[in-house]
Amino acid sequence: MDTDITIIGAGVIGLAIAEKISQDFRNVYLIEKHPTFGQEISSRNSEVIHAGIYYPEGSFKARLCVEGKALLYDYCKKYDIPFKNCGKLIVATSKEEIAVIEGIKITAGKNGVDLAVLDQNQVAELEPNIFALKALYSPTTGIVDTHSLMKRLETNTLNNGGEIVYGSEVKGINKIDKGYEITLLDADNNHYRFTAGTIINSAGLTSDKISEMTGIKDDKLTIQFCKGEYFKVNPPKNKLISRLVYPVPHKNMEGIGIHVTIDMGGGVKLGPDVTYLESNVYDYKVNPGKQEAFWKSAKKFLPFLEFDDIVPEMAGIRPKTQKPGEQIRDFYIMEESSRGYQGFINLIGMESPGLTSCIAISNYVHGIVRKQKN
């Protein structure tokens, strides 16, 4: 085989897997179609280190988020990656929402996440400029500089002897004896082929297409492009918030509501909203016409916010396997021997909390690879 292990996709999860795998295995390649890492999901999100509050008990999302949160904080400290353990408030602005946050507290407890219930006065002590009848306080939620994190993962992979190939898109995968033949299209429009004993599919928004190239047909693994747009809060109003502030989440966890996030530079943004795209197009435009909807949504708990305090900022796309109106879907992480594709490891539907979970995911996938290689 030309390569022992090939990882497809250099987002934060693919990079974390490459770093971990290259510690123990030689001849590890990471393939990325873009000229550099993290150009899709990983660079267009809220950069939040999640606590593990909302996800169903026992799910990958719950388990890997809670485990990954601690690992990510430790990793940031070890490598001096900018982060802030700022905490988060989930606010109830009506009597009906108080019942919802009480249910959230129970779910979080099942996942091993302890949340404090705050009354109106206690909320005001933490964030005097927001409105909430009651709130849940999550002390372990934070933010991270995602670019610095990915740069460190890339550097460590290379230092471990791993190879990273940018500007090369996977165009075909064929099962061969004891492995796979991969066809790539490089930046100069040339096709070339190489072989791999193991493939790890971490291709994010196109992970379902990579899986289909191999021969796996499963409608449950089809990625739905789900767009989220953000608006920025202009200075000086951005100085009025020091923590993450979230409303109660949407039904079925399609999204967790237009929330307030802060970044490492002191910026504040609102978002993301939830819009399923009819076709899987890379639509990163922010619709200025949504300004009123964002403003009205946020003003429920940010009474100081005026219409002109916000401007369009950016958009991202979530790789959901959950269709509109369906129940929440878990991460799909599977070595596909049961389908006849030994050594092909799928990671599909790796939306939030993928960033938080990235190191825990890399450990889990590393375990799969070691088991397969032994």
Asked if residue 55 lies in contact with residue 353, where contact means CB atoms within 8 angstroms, the answer is yes
% of residues, the chain, pLDDT over 90: 94
Asked if residue 322 lies in contact with residue 282, where contact means CB atoms within 8 angstroms, the answer is no
Measured CA to CA, the distance from residue 118 to residue 374 in angstroms comes to 51
Helix axes 12-24, 354-373, angle to 10 degrees: 30
The 10s digit of each residue's pLDDT in 246-293 is 998 766 555 567 899 999 999 999 999 999 998 899 999 999 999 999
Any domain includes 188: yes
Any domain includes 95: yes
Q: Which of 320, 337, 357 is the last residue of a domain?
A: 320
Helix axes 12-24, 146-159, angle to 10 degrees: 20
Together in a domain, 126 and 205: no
User: The CATH number of the domain where 252 resides is what?
Assistant: 3.30.9.10
Q: Where are the alpha helices (DSSP H) in the chain?
A: 12-24, 60-79, 95-110, 120-126, 146-159, 207-214, 291-299, 354-373
Above 70 in pLDDT, residue 244?
Answer: yes
Q: Which domain holds residue 316?
A: 88-139+224-320
The 10s digit of each residue's pLDDT in 201-231 is 999 999 999 999 999 999 999 999 999 999 9
Together in a domain, 29 and 154: yes
Summarize the confidence of residues 180-186 as an average pLDDT.
Answer: 97
Together in a domain, 191 and 233: no
Together in a domain, 162 and 260: no
- DSSP secondary structure letter of residue 221: G
Together in a domain, 235 and 312: yes
pLDDT band at 181 (very low <50, low <70, confident <90, very high): very high
Measured CA to CA, the distance from residue 182 to residue 199 in angstroms comes to 9
Together in a domain, 209 and 336: yes
Q: 10: exposed, middle or buried (C-beta count within 10 Å: 0-12, 13-18, 19+)?
A: buried
Above 90 in pLDDT, residue 68?
Answer: yes
For residue 373, what pLDDT is reported?
A: 83
Together in a domain, 237 and 298: yes
Structure token pair of residue 255? 């999204």
Cis before 272? omega within 30: yes
Together in a domain, 92 and 169: no
The 10s digit of each residue's pLDDT in 75-133 is 999 999 999 999 999 999 999 999 999 999 999 999 999 999 999 999 999 999 999 99
Count of domains in the chain? 2
The 10s digit of each residue's pLDDT in 340-360 is 999 999 999 999 999 999 999
Any domain includes 112: yes
User: The CATH number of the domain where 207 resides is what?
Assistant: 3.50.50.60
For residue 103, what pLDDT is reported?
A: 92
Together in a domain, 214 and 234: no
Any domain includes 54: no
pLDDT band at 187 (very low <50, low <70, confident <90, very high): confident
Name the most confidently modeled range: 30-34, 96-100, 370-374: 30-34
Any domain includes 80: no
For residue 250, what pLDDT is reported?
A: 60
Together in a domain, 179 and 297: no
Summarize the confidence of residues 311-317 as an average pLDDT.
Answer: 98
Any domain includes 36: yes
Any domain includes 156: yes
User: What is the pTM assigned to this prediction?
Assistant: 0.96
